[in-house]
Amino acid sequence: MLLSVVFFPALGQDLLRAIRVALDEAYRSFSREYGDLIESLFDPLLYLLIWFERLLLASPWWVVLIVICGTCYGMTRSIKLTIITLATMFVIGLFGMWDDTMRTLAIILVSTLITIVLGVPLGIAMARSDKLQVIFTPVLDIMQTMPIFVYLIPVVMLFGLGKIPGVIAVVIYAIPPVMRLTSLGIRLVAEEVLEAADAFGTSAWHKLVQVQLPLAMPNVMAGINQTIMMALSMVVIASMIGVRGLGQPVLEAVTNQYFALGLFNGAAVVALAILFDRMTQGYGRRLRSRQ
């Protein structure tokens, strides 16, 4: 009795063990029952990922470079940044990291696309309903702070190792900023502007697409920017469940204590991050200056 004053009166070891075993069994039978079905739902995504990766790997390097630099110029209208992008990608290729960079690029771009397609509408819903905001906020908090391997274990049980669990991990980790900032951006649109829109008899849909979203765009872009950054920071973690790309050499370098190999590939991830960051920020700035 006295002991429970000093030590926390935790449940007994045996009971705790029973709880763990029961939960584990429950999940196992769930994955046995529905694993195939859930996995087949994700097949189109897998084909998209494989197709996109093969496209990037099979295209001649200069075609990929032209597309990347073209996108950069189109988004930022900055000659300087385009030249920096060209030089960076060139150095990456020179150091023999082209293929891994393409693999990373493929999974990051597809993950980002999914994040935007899911995140922006959810963010809009969050902005329009206080009830949803109350529900989503703690969920987003959990997604951002839950140690990644905790949910990777069940995800691997369902999908096996490779791209799909990688994308799921990246999306779970990277979707909160775009949802939060989309919601914030829409909520920040001035009341007077909305009243003016109402005065013109605008429908709710038109008000959203023509007034609220354009005004919220800089915030949405900031959210997308953060999302890409967070997706790139997941590259190494994703490689721990068999996603190929720049993460695997980093992992190899860390576990074998190869300093230079880790530095090269780590630098390539950073370079990609900075390029994406400047591109999306440049695009956001252009949107703002247009308003």
Partner 1 sequence: MKQVESRALTGAWSRKYPALVIGLATLASAGCSVESDCGVVTIAEMTWQTAAFTAHVEQIILESGYGCLAETVPGNTVPTVTSMVERGEPDIAPEVWLNSVRPVVERGIEEGRISIATDIIADGGEEGWYVPEFAVEQYPELATLEGVLSRPDLFPDNEDPGKGRFYTCPPGWACQIINENLFRAFEMEEAGFTIFNPGSGEGLNGAIARAHERLEPILAYFYEPTPLTTRYPMRMIESVPHDPATWPCMTTLDCQNLAPNMYPKPVVRTLVTTSFAENSPEAYAFLSRVSWTFDFLEQIATWQEENQAIARESAVHFLKNHEEVWSAWVPEDVADRVRAGL
> Which residues contact partner 1 by CB under 8 A?
13, 17, 20-21, 24, 28, 31-32, 35-36, 46, 50, 149, 152-153, 156-158, 160-163, 239-244, 248, 251-252, 254-257
At its nearest, how many Å lie between partner 1 and the CB of residue 268?
17
CB closer to partner 1, 16 vs 66: 16
At its nearest, how many Å lie between partner 1 and the CB of residue 193?
49
At its nearest, how many Å lie between partner 1 and the CB of residue 249?
8
Q: Residue 70, exposed/middle/buried by CB under 10 A (0-12, 13-18, 19+)?
A: exposed
At its nearest, how many Å lie between partner 1 and the CB of residue 54?
10
CB closer to partner 1, 16 vs 188: 16
Do 93 and 61 touch, CB atoms closer than 8 A? Answer: yes
Q: Which two tokens stand for residue 244?
A: 């190929």
Going by C-beta distance under 8 Å and a sequence separation of 6 or more, which residues neighbour residue 184? Answer: 127, 219
CB closer to partner 1, 4 vs 13: 13
Give the C-alpha separation, 36 to 40, whole Å: 6
At its nearest, how many Å lie between partner 1 and the CB of residue 148?
11
CB closer to partner 1, 75 vs 269: 269
At its nearest, how many Å lie between partner 1 and the CB of residue 104?
14
CB closer to partner 1, 21 vs 87: 21
CB closer to partner 1, 20 vs 206: 20
Please name the amino acid found at residue 225: N
Q: Which two tokens stand for residue 157?
A: 């049980």
